[in-house]
Every structure is written in C-alpha cells, then in structure tokens.
Amino acid sequence: MSQISVSVKWGKEKFAGLEVNTSDPPQVFQAQLFGLTGVPPERQKIMAKGKTLKDDSWEGFAMKSGMTLLLMGSADTLPTVPAQQTKFVEDVKEGDTVSVNHPAGLSNLGNTCYMNATVQCLKNVPELQDGLNNFNGQLGFDSIMTNPSEAITIALRDLYKLLDKVSSDAIPPVIFLQVLHSVFPQFAEKGEGGALQQQDANECWAQIMRLLQQKLPGQLASGTASNTGSLIDQYFGIDCKSVMKCDEAEDEPESTSSERLYQLSCFINQDVKYLHTGLRARLKENITKASPSLNRDASYTKASTITRLPGYLTIQFVRFFFKEKEKVNAKILKDVKFTMMLDVYDLCDKELKDKIKPMREKFKEKEDRDAEKKIVPKSKRVEKMDVDEKDKEVKTEPFSFPEDVGSNNSGYYELSAILTHRGRTSQSGHYVAFKRTKEDMWLMYDDDNVTPITTDEVMKLSGGGDWHCAYVLLYAPRKLIIDDDN
C-alpha cells in the first residue's frame, strides 16, 4: 500500500481527505502540511497512536487509510493588528499611507519570485480558473514524472484554491514548487552556496502554459456537440499567416505558411519607442535562407498577419540577449511605452479585419451614445438616473465569435496584468506581478507583499532605468457594455 487518504488535526483545524504516498519520503508529506498550515517542516511533530513520524523514514509509523493524525507545531509569526484604522483608496489624501484588504500573496521560497509572478498574472484569467476548478484528480507524487501535465494542472488548481480561501496572508507554494522542479529540473538548479538560482519568468510562463494545454479541455462552441482543441488554444492561441518572398529573385514563387503562437514578441531596437511599433516590426522581418531558384543562400522578406485573435493576448518584450563573453542573458533597459487600451486591427489580415468590423462598429455606436449623454444637462441626467443604478449588474456583449470559443471579435483589448523584472540579467534580479482588479484598480504582488498601486505608477513600468521594467503583458478582451434603456 502506497497511496492512502488520511485526516490531520492541527489545533482547532482539521484537514480531511489528504492523499499521502508512503513510497515517497516523509519530507514530501511534511511539505504538503507546510503548504496547508504554514508550519515549517522543522517545527512539525506528526503523531498517531503514540508514535512520532521520523523525518527520513516511515519505519515504525503504521499508516492506514481513514486514520486521523495529530500535527503539533506553530506556524510563522502572524501579522499583528494595525494600530491605525484602515483607510480606503478613495479616502486617501496626498501623503497618506494606504492599508486595504487584499488577496493573498505567495511566499518567496528562495529565488522563486519568477514563479510567483507568473502564477499571479495567470490567475487574472477567470476562464482559466474555471477550467482548473472543473479539472478532476488528486496529486500523486509517484506519477509526476509519468504524467507531468496532469501534475502541473492539479498543483496549480490546488494553489489557486488556497489563494482564494486565504485573505491578506501569504501562501507558501511548496507543493507547486516541488512539482515544477520535478517536471522541469532546469528550474531546480542551485548555485555554489546551495541556494536555488533565479530563473527566467517568461520561460516558466511558457512551460506552464504548454502543459496546461495538454490537459485542460476546450469549451463547446455554439451549435456543436463536441469541443475542439484545448482551453489554452481557445483563449490564448494566436493564428498567423506568413508569406515568404525572395528579394533577389522576383520570379521565384512566394511560399505561404501558417503557425499558432501563444505570445506576440515585441523586439526592441533604437527605433522602437512604442509597443505597437515593436509588434509591427516583428510581423515583417528579413531573413536569409537557401533559395531553390538561385541554388544559394539569399535574402527573403517574411510578412506575417494575424488570422485569429485570442480572448487574452500575451505579449513579451524581448529585453534579453545573450552576451557570449559573459555567458549571460543581458537586459535591454530601453523605455518602450505600452497602453492601457490596445487595438491590433492593423496587425490582422484582410479576412479577419472584415470579420471583426461589425463588433467594432458597435463599440463606435456605444461611444457616440455615451458622448451624446454627456451633452444632456446634469439636472436632467439626475432625474433619469436609477437610485440603485450602481448596484445593477453590468451586462456585456460576448467578446468571442459564436463558432470560435475564446476568440476576440473586435481587436480591442485592455491591460489586465504585467510581469516585470528589475535587474540586469534574466537569471538575476527580481520579478513582480501587477494586476488589475475588478474595481479597475491595480495591485502589486511582490511575493508575499501585496499593495495597491495607481494607474500612473503602472504606466511608469515601461523601462528606461533600473526600476521594474515590463517584461510580459497580459491583455484581456475589451467588453462592450449593453445599454439598459428600460
């Protein structure tokens, strides 16, 4: 017997249905309890029927499914009650400090800020959270290496559930980190002193998404009986069409290809001052390859257009380049401005442009109506205003095409999260997540420290110095609010 289910009593709390694999060393079980209770393994005393569990062996500790274990040990010091009364953002005056209720952060377990920032940014996609919540299964440590995509999916699901349950405290992501290290050994590399090395957050982002893609099923499209692809393909997949033309042989036929991306790249050079400029430059590039008509290497122009937009658009600033002499990924600190609202209409091919025009017209009509309302005298506007208007549920148009779940039907986006980096190389420095909330405010997730931040401060994350620079942007679909004329 290796996989059993037990309950653990810790003070007044009881955790039921914990899956324990006795073929793993006890340290794995201790790490699981650390993630649930915050009691570090060195403080844990696990007892059953008068026996105490050893740190390195199950010997002499008979475990049976359904039994209740007793955990003794204190968690890390709890935060004290603030001496001053909480102030809310709308009441803050210049020079005041702010203390507000906020979601939980993630403890840094030793250069794990890259992972924490990635996890926090992805949590700002409600459809991804729904997909994870609907995913069944329990984490079995013996199957991590045989089914890594399932292990990552379950571990992320369970971590998000913990984050949703805890308020204003930090969660130590021990289990998720262990799974990440087991599935991707490169993230478990240690330095000369034995401490974990810093890793590239965008690489972590891409690897997690790749495994989620293999496990999270897609949603049903309108009028279909079965889903197609995965949830990641639906909500993050970008389809592109590329036309390759030889610059040195006009008679050589053009070649056309298509590919699916999950991020757009914004390359940075001396001419790129704005995000949109970098995106356009990335879609038209010069390359050298073998020419079948010239029988030698020749210069080609590769022109790409987007044929399918996802609901959530991920953009990476290509800020790092490899320095051969120092053997490091050095950072480009250049200031590249981004926007809260993003329109990618001009990056699309003609067919997609025609397809998204009807929704864009609806946005334009809504803007015209809103502009007309502002012309109405204030007194008349007040008479028509419903007293409970602020409590009404805001209804929005679907942001996807009916036959293409998770797509974007307008080309309009709004900034939802930013993953930033401070430092000079991707394997050093510090990563932080900035997230937009439902109340249209921003929170900075600096590991376990979660604090409110203004939109003006967010816009200063565009680079230009040693402060945090935007590295990965996550744009959400801009939603069209339906007017309620009743």
Nearest Cα residue to 343 out of 330, 356, 334: 356
What span, in angstroms and rounded, lies between the C-alpha atoms of 286 and 297? Answer: 13
Spatial contact of 311 and 127, defined as CB atoms under 8 Å apart: yes
Of the candidates 246, 430, 468, 469, the residue annotated as catalytic is 430
Alpha helices in 350-437 (DSSP H): 350-375, 378-384
Which residues partner with 301 through β-bridges? 245, 286
Nearest Cα residue to 104 out of 128, 123, 132, 76: 123
Nearest Cα residue to 182 out of 213, 205, 149: 149
Say if residue 322 is exposed, middle or buried (CB neighbours under 10 Å; 0-12, 13-18, 19+).
exposed
Spatial contact of 283 and 315, defined as CB atoms under 8 Å apart: no
Q: What is the DSSP string of 162-177?
A: HHHH-BSSEE--HHHH
Nearest Cα residue to 474 out of 298, 263, 245: 263
Reduced to 3 states (helix: H, G, I; strand: E, B; else coil), residue 115 is: helix
**Alpha-carbon torsion (458, 464, 468, 471), positive or negative:** positive
181 is catalytic: no
Nearest Cα residue to 448 out of 121, 168, 174: 168
- Number of neighbouring beta carbons within 10 Å of residue 30: 21
The amino acid occupying position 262 is Y
Reduced to 3 states (helix: H, G, I; strand: E, B; else coil), residue 459 is: helix
469 is catalytic: no
Q: What is the DSSP string of 10-28?
A: ETTEEEEEEEEETTS-HHH
Dihedral class, residue 120 (left if φ above 0, else alpha if ψ from -120 to 50, else beta): alpha
Of the candidates 113, 121, 204, 240, the residue annotated as catalytic is 113
Q: What is the DSSP string of 144-206?
A: TTT-HHHHHHHHHHHHHHHHHH-BSSEE--HHHHHHHHHH-GGGG-B-TTSPBPP--HHHHHH
Phi, psi (degrees; rounded to nearest 5) at 224: -115, 160
- Could you give the residue numbers annotated as active site? 113, 430
